[in-house]
Amino acid sequence: DTAVSQTPKYLVTQMGNDKSIKCEQNLGHDTMYWYKQDSKKFLKIMFSYNNKELIINETVPNRFSPKSPDKAHLNLHINSLELGDSAVYFCASSQQGSGYGYTFGSGTRLTVV
């Protein structure tokens, strides 16, 4: 059983399109995250939700909108895609409390052409 699953794995789309990436975790974790890994492999946090509530919202364009229908799901919708949005997007989850690391999904490689 995959602990954190993301779909799709690959996404190729044209500039200006709107797309969504879905993430689900079956670990019972309270907190979920979206990270962006750019072409240099740098990892930057985008959003974090705790029990469906947004708790972290880094400096991310308004075109990116996360949605958490329940604590097991955190989706990412991107409007008006731009070339610079091309990256690998990782979903992750963790338990509350000290000492818990993240469990990551396998990533979604987004290519905007």
Closest CA to 25 of 109, 108, 104: 104
105 binds other proteins (CB under 8 A): yes
User: Shortest Cβ distance from residue 100 to other proteins (Å)?
Assistant: 8
The footprint of other proteins on residues 2-41 (CB under 8 A) is: 31, 33, 35, 40-41
Residue among 51, 63, 96, 113 that touches other proteins (CB under 8 A): 96
Count the alpha carbons within 13 Å of 1 in the hemisphere toward its beta carbon: 5
- 83 three-class SS: helix
Q: Does the CA dihedral 107-108-112-113 come out positive or negative?
A: positive
84 binds other proteins (CB under 8 A): no
Q: Contact positions toward other proteins, by CB under 8 A?
A: 31, 33, 35, 40-45, 48, 50, 56, 58, 90, 92, 94, 96-107
